[in-house]
Amino acid sequence: MNTHLNPYLSCSAALLAVLAQGASAQVFDAGIPAGWTCEGSCGTAEADGDVPLAPGGGSRYGWVSNTAGVAGVRLPGVGVPNDSHDGSLLRSHRFDAAAGATLALRFNYITTDGGDFGDYAWIRLLDGTGNPVALLVTARTSPGGGAVPGYGMPAGQATLTPPFLDVWGPQPVWSPLGADSGTCYVTPCGTTGWGQASYGIAAAGSYMLEFGVVNWVDASADSGLAFDALTLDGVPLAPVPEPGMPALLAAGMLVLGSRYARRWK
């Protein structure tokens, strides 16, 4: 075997290893990914209080909480603007999906505000410009305890496993709830535990995910939503490549190839 081939093979193998590592990394292991945008209070956490790591997820999960939320965040079609006091919203980077691809994720709704005062949360699929494509998951307690699908909210279009989730508590301990962690204003309070949602992408294109949570009527007794294990056809969600990145990679391979060719001669 010609030893002049080794540097080229080594560089190629290293490049492929880096690409493979990036493709297999869990979405929130290094914090909120670059390109994601937050309004209000968003973050990532390791297993925390009553919210463990998500099955099939990574070493950290993402979350939104209406502790330190901002005014103006709401889900269109739920009540009227004056009923939504404050909340938080997190949107993902754009990602490409083929027609028929399956989007899947895990989610966990956590609330200290139940009964007729139930806060609410949601997950939506948006197109690459931010227009709504599908409401995937809704969460909100009812006086009877049911939380997913959200009480009095539009039905989500994702397939849920299990199809219904109640909150269990009554006093959820979770750091993103701030001073309300470990409290319950009106039962039922608690967490739903980790549910799973899956949705078939109808048309090829660029998309974004949106995660939101809102305080209902007042700013008291906060709630939050945790999420992880975001995959597309079983592969962790990856951003749309930056403009010029494929060309840059191709140029790098060409340089390596030309150097190898000169050494061969």
Domain extents in the chain: 1-27+243-265, 28-236
How many Å apart are CA 126 and CA 2, to the nearest integer? 52
Question: Could you tell me if 95 and 206 are in contact, meaning their C-beta atoms sit under 8 angstroms apart?
Answer: yes
> Which one, of 219, 189, 227, 214, lies nearest residue 119 by Cα?
214
Q: Tell me the Cα Rg of the chain.
A: 22
Question: Could you tell me if 178 and 68 are in contact, meaning their C-beta atoms sit under 8 angstroms apart?
Answer: yes
> pLDDT at position 143, please?
85
How many Å apart are CA 13 and CA 6, to the nearest integer? 10
Q: What is the mean pLDDT of each run of 10 residues along the chain (265 residues)?
A: 44 42 70 96 98 97 96 83 84 97 98 88 97 97 90 93 92 97 93 98 98 90 97 90 50 49 51
> pLDDT at position 148, please?
96
199 phi, psi to nearest 5 deg: -150, 135
Specify whether domain 28-236 bears CATH 3.20.20.10.
no
> pLDDT at position 83, please?
76
pTM recorded for the entire structure: 0.83
> pLDDT at position 81, please?
60
> pLDDT at position 127, please?
97
> pLDDT at position 262, please?
53
